[in-house]
Protein backbone atom coordinates (compact mmCIF):
# COMPACT_ATOMS: atom_id res chain seq x y z
CA UNK A 1 0.00 0.00 0.00
CA UNK A 2 1.23 3.46 -0.92
CA UNK A 3 -0.44 6.84 -1.15
CA UNK A 4 -0.24 9.63 1.41
CA UNK A 5 1.07 9.11 4.94
CA UNK A 6 0.64 11.61 7.77
CA UNK A 7 3.29 11.29 10.49
CA UNK A 8 3.04 13.14 13.82
CA UNK A 9 6.15 13.98 15.79
CA UNK A 10 8.02 13.90 12.50
CA UNK A 11 10.72 16.43 13.36
CA UNK A 12 13.06 13.93 15.05
CA UNK A 13 13.57 10.41 16.30
CA UNK A 14 11.22 7.66 15.19
CA UNK A 15 8.94 10.16 13.45
CA UNK A 16 11.71 11.38 11.18
CA UNK A 17 12.77 7.80 10.50
CA UNK A 18 9.20 6.85 9.59
CA UNK A 19 9.18 9.76 7.15
CA UNK A 20 12.46 8.63 5.56
CA UNK A 21 11.41 5.01 5.13
CA UNK A 22 7.87 5.81 3.96
CA UNK A 23 9.23 8.28 1.40
CA UNK A 24 11.60 5.58 0.15
CA UNK A 25 8.61 3.23 -0.16
CA UNK A 26 6.84 5.73 -2.42
CA UNK A 27 4.51 7.55 -0.06
CA UNK A 28 3.70 11.23 -0.28
CA UNK A 29 4.11 12.73 3.18
CA UNK A 30 2.37 15.12 5.55
CA UNK A 31 4.82 15.94 8.32
CA UNK A 32 3.40 17.17 11.65
CA UNK A 33 5.27 18.65 14.62
CA UNK A 34 5.81 21.92 16.49
CA UNK A 35 9.25 22.74 15.06
CA UNK A 36 8.69 24.25 11.61
CA UNK A 37 12.38 24.64 10.85
CA UNK A 38 13.10 20.98 11.50
CA UNK A 39 10.05 19.86 9.53
CA UNK A 40 11.02 21.98 6.55
CA UNK A 41 14.59 20.71 6.67
CA UNK A 42 13.31 17.13 6.63
CA UNK A 43 10.87 17.90 3.81
CA UNK A 44 13.72 19.40 1.77
CA UNK A 45 15.91 16.41 2.48
CA UNK A 46 13.19 14.07 1.24
CA UNK A 47 12.67 16.04 -1.94
CA UNK A 48 9.40 17.59 -0.85
CA UNK A 49 6.61 16.98 1.63
CA UNK A 50 3.64 18.81 3.06
CA UNK A 51 4.54 20.52 6.35
CA UNK A 52 1.85 21.02 8.98
CA UNK A 53 2.97 22.84 12.13
CA UNK A 54 0.84 21.93 15.15
CA UNK A 55 1.16 21.61 18.92
CA UNK A 56 -0.75 18.42 19.69
CA UNK A 57 -1.07 19.36 23.36
CA UNK A 58 -3.25 22.28 22.26
CA UNK A 59 -6.76 21.24 21.08
CA UNK A 60 -7.06 24.35 18.91
CA UNK A 61 -3.74 23.73 17.18
CA UNK A 62 -4.52 20.02 16.82
CA UNK A 63 -7.73 20.84 14.95
CA UNK A 64 -5.73 21.61 11.80
CA UNK A 65 -4.43 18.03 11.80
CA UNK A 66 -7.92 16.62 12.30
CA UNK A 67 -9.18 18.69 9.38
CA UNK A 68 -6.33 17.48 7.16
CA UNK A 69 -7.24 13.88 7.96
CA UNK A 70 -10.85 14.44 6.93
CA UNK A 71 -10.06 16.22 3.65
CA UNK A 72 -11.67 13.83 1.16
CA UNK A 73 -10.05 15.61 -1.78
CA UNK A 74 -6.60 14.81 -0.36
CA UNK A 75 -7.10 11.48 1.42
CA UNK A 76 -4.57 10.17 3.91
CA UNK A 77 -3.94 6.46 3.46
CA UNK A 78 -1.68 5.90 6.46
CA UNK A 79 -1.73 7.71 9.80
CA UNK A 80 1.34 7.27 12.01
CA UNK A 81 0.56 8.51 15.51
CA UNK A 82 4.15 8.86 16.65
CA UNK A 83 4.20 12.08 18.71
CA UNK A 84 5.01 11.42 22.36
CA UNK A 85 5.30 13.43 25.56
CA UNK A 86 7.52 12.31 28.42
CA UNK A 87 7.72 13.62 31.96
CA UNK A 88 10.21 12.99 34.73
CA UNK A 89 9.34 12.60 38.38
CA UNK A 90 6.47 11.09 40.30
CA UNK A 91 2.79 11.67 39.58
CA UNK A 92 2.16 13.58 42.81
CA UNK A 93 5.21 15.80 42.24
CA UNK A 94 4.44 16.70 38.63
CA UNK A 95 2.60 19.90 37.79
CA UNK A 96 -1.03 19.27 36.88
CA UNK A 97 -0.76 21.24 33.63
CA UNK A 98 2.22 19.11 32.61
CA UNK A 99 0.28 15.94 33.31
CA UNK A 100 -2.66 17.28 31.31
CA UNK A 101 -0.40 18.13 28.35
CA UNK A 102 1.09 14.63 28.52
CA UNK A 103 -2.41 13.15 28.40
CA UNK A 104 -3.42 15.38 25.48
CA UNK A 105 -0.50 14.20 23.35
CA UNK A 106 -0.17 10.56 24.38
CA UNK A 107 -3.84 9.65 24.77
CA UNK A 108 -6.33 12.24 23.53
CA UNK A 109 -4.49 12.98 20.30
CA UNK A 110 -4.20 9.29 19.44
CA UNK A 111 -7.91 8.80 20.15
CA UNK A 112 -9.04 11.84 18.15
CA UNK A 113 -6.78 11.45 15.13
CA UNK A 114 -7.53 7.74 14.87
CA UNK A 115 -11.25 8.39 15.18
CA UNK A 116 -11.34 11.07 12.47
CA UNK A 117 -9.10 9.08 10.10
CA UNK A 118 -10.78 5.67 10.19
CA UNK A 119 -14.24 6.42 8.69
CA UNK A 120 -12.78 7.78 5.44
CA UNK A 121 -10.35 4.88 5.20
CA UNK A 122 -13.13 2.36 5.71
CA UNK A 123 -15.29 4.09 3.10
CA UNK A 124 -12.39 3.89 0.62
CA UNK A 125 -11.69 0.23 1.52
CA UNK A 126 -8.02 1.00 2.14
CA UNK A 127 -5.75 2.58 4.67
CA UNK A 128 -4.26 2.10 8.09
CA UNK A 129 -3.28 3.55 11.43
CA UNK A 130 0.04 2.78 13.09
CA UNK A 131 0.11 3.93 16.72
CA UNK A 132 3.50 4.20 18.40
CA UNK A 133 3.06 2.85 21.91
CA UNK A 134 5.68 1.37 24.23
CA UNK A 135 6.73 -1.71 26.17
CA UNK A 136 6.32 0.57 29.20
CA UNK A 137 2.58 0.06 28.84
CA UNK A 138 3.00 -3.56 29.92
CA UNK A 139 4.99 -2.69 33.06
CA UNK A 140 3.15 -0.71 35.76
CA UNK A 141 5.80 1.08 37.75
CA UNK A 142 7.05 4.36 39.12
CA UNK A 143 6.86 7.69 37.35
CA UNK A 144 3.96 9.83 36.20
CA UNK A 145 1.54 8.82 33.45
CA UNK A 146 3.64 7.72 30.48
CA UNK A 147 3.17 3.98 30.92
CA UNK A 148 -0.53 4.36 31.68
CA UNK A 149 -1.07 6.30 28.47
CA UNK A 150 0.83 3.75 26.43
CA UNK A 151 -1.19 0.91 27.94
CA UNK A 152 -4.31 2.69 26.64
CA UNK A 153 -2.81 3.14 23.16
CA UNK A 154 -1.83 -0.52 22.90
CA UNK A 155 -5.23 -1.79 24.04
CA UNK A 156 -7.11 0.64 21.81
CA UNK A 157 -5.05 -0.34 18.78
CA UNK A 158 -5.47 -4.06 19.31
CA UNK A 159 -9.21 -3.62 19.80
CA UNK A 160 -9.55 -1.52 16.66
CA UNK A 161 -7.55 -4.06 14.65
CA UNK A 162 -10.41 -6.47 15.30
CA UNK A 163 -13.09 -3.87 14.61
CA UNK A 164 -11.73 -3.04 11.13
CA UNK A 165 -10.77 -6.59 10.16
CA UNK A 166 -12.04 -7.38 6.67
CA UNK A 167 -12.52 -3.74 5.66
CA UNK A 168 -9.23 -3.23 3.83
CA UNK A 169 -8.05 -1.10 6.76
CA UNK A 170 -5.55 -2.14 9.43
CA UNK A 171 -4.59 -0.79 12.87
CA UNK A 172 -1.41 -1.74 14.73
CA UNK A 173 0.37 -0.77 17.92
CA UNK A 174 4.16 -0.50 17.82
CA UNK A 175 5.71 -1.18 21.23
CA UNK A 176 9.45 -0.52 21.19
CA UNK A 177 11.77 -0.61 24.14
CA UNK A 178 14.67 1.82 24.52
CA UNK A 179 15.45 3.62 21.25
CA UNK A 180 18.42 5.87 20.50
CA UNK A 181 16.53 9.14 20.04
CA UNK A 182 16.34 12.51 21.82
CA UNK A 183 13.33 11.39 23.87
CA UNK A 184 15.06 10.73 27.19
CA UNK A 185 17.38 13.70 26.90
CA UNK A 186 14.44 16.09 26.61
CA UNK A 187 13.37 15.44 30.17
CA UNK A 188 16.79 14.90 31.71
CA UNK A 189 17.18 11.13 31.76
CA UNK A 190 20.46 9.44 30.93
CA UNK A 191 20.55 6.19 28.99
CA UNK A 192 20.52 3.33 31.48
CA UNK A 193 20.87 -0.40 31.13
CA UNK A 194 23.09 -2.46 28.83
CA UNK A 195 23.96 -1.18 25.39
CA UNK A 196 22.27 -4.07 23.61
CA UNK A 197 18.92 -2.91 25.04
CA UNK A 198 19.09 0.30 23.00
CA UNK A 199 17.80 -0.02 19.45
CA UNK A 200 18.52 2.10 16.39
CA UNK A 201 15.52 4.02 14.98
CA UNK A 202 15.94 2.53 11.50
CA UNK A 203 15.67 -1.00 12.90
CA UNK A 204 12.53 -0.17 14.90
CA UNK A 205 10.78 1.48 11.95
CA UNK A 206 11.81 -1.20 9.47
CA UNK A 207 10.44 -3.88 11.81
CA UNK A 208 7.23 -1.92 12.39
CA UNK A 209 6.51 -1.42 8.70
CA UNK A 210 7.17 -5.08 7.96
CA UNK A 211 4.82 -6.15 10.75
CA UNK A 212 2.20 -3.66 9.56
CA UNK A 213 2.42 -5.05 6.02
CA UNK A 214 1.85 -8.51 7.49
CA UNK A 215 -1.30 -7.26 9.27
CA UNK A 216 -0.01 -7.77 12.79
CA UNK A 217 -1.97 -5.98 15.52
CA UNK A 218 1.08 -5.68 17.77
CA UNK A 219 4.70 -5.09 16.81
CA UNK A 220 7.43 -5.53 19.43
CA UNK A 221 10.89 -5.09 17.90
CA UNK A 222 13.84 -7.06 19.30
CA UNK A 223 13.81 -10.46 21.04
CA UNK A 224 14.63 -8.83 24.40
CA UNK A 225 11.43 -6.82 24.42
CA UNK A 226 9.33 -9.65 23.01
CA UNK A 227 10.48 -11.65 26.03
CA UNK A 228 9.59 -8.81 28.39
CA UNK A 229 6.07 -8.61 26.95
CA UNK A 230 5.56 -12.37 27.33
CA UNK A 231 6.89 -12.20 30.89
CA UNK A 232 4.61 -9.26 31.73
CA UNK A 233 1.58 -11.22 30.53
CA UNK A 234 2.25 -14.37 32.59
CA UNK A 235 4.15 -13.19 35.69
CA UNK A 236 2.38 -12.25 38.94
CA UNK A 237 1.59 -8.53 39.08
CA UNK A 238 3.47 -8.12 42.36
CA UNK A 239 6.69 -9.42 40.80
CA UNK A 240 6.28 -7.13 37.80
CA UNK A 241 5.82 -4.15 40.10
CA UNK A 242 8.96 -4.99 42.07
CA UNK A 243 10.99 -5.21 38.87
CA UNK A 244 9.47 -2.01 37.48
CA UNK A 245 10.38 -0.08 40.64
CA UNK A 246 14.04 -0.82 39.97
CA UNK A 247 13.86 0.17 36.32
CA UNK A 248 14.32 3.57 34.76
CA UNK A 249 11.15 5.27 33.52
CA UNK A 250 10.72 6.77 30.06
CA UNK A 251 10.19 5.60 26.54
CA UNK A 252 10.72 1.93 26.29
Q: Do 72 and 120 meet the contact criterion of CB atoms below 8 Å apart?
A: yes
Shortest CA distance to 114 belongs to which of 174, 59, 177, 65?
65
Q: What are phi and psi of 188, to 5 degrees?
A: 80, 25
Buried b vs exposed e over 145-180: b needs ≥16 C-beta within 10 Å?
bbbbbbbbbbebbbebbeebeeeebbbbbbbbbbbb
| CA–CA distances in Å: residue 190 to residues 124, 183, 222, 228 | 45, 10, 21, 21
Using alpha carbons only, give the angle 99, 104, 106 rounded to the nearest 5 degrees. 90
Residue 13, SS3 per DSSP: helix
Show Cβ contacts of residue 74 under 8 Å, excluding neighbours closer than 6 positions: 4, 68
Residue 140: how many other CB atoms lie within 10 Å? 16
Q: Which residues are known catalytic residues?
A: 146
CA distance 158 to 105: 19
CA distance 187 to 216: 32
Q: What is the torsional sign of CA 165, 123, 25, 133?
A: negative
Amino acid sequence: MTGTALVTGASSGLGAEFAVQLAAAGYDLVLVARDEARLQALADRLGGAEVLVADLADPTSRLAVEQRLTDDERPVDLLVNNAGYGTAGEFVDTDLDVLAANHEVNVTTVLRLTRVALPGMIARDRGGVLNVSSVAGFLPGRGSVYGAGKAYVTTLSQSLARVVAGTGVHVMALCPGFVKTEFHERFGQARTGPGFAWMEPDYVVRTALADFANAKALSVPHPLYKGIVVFARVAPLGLIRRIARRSATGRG
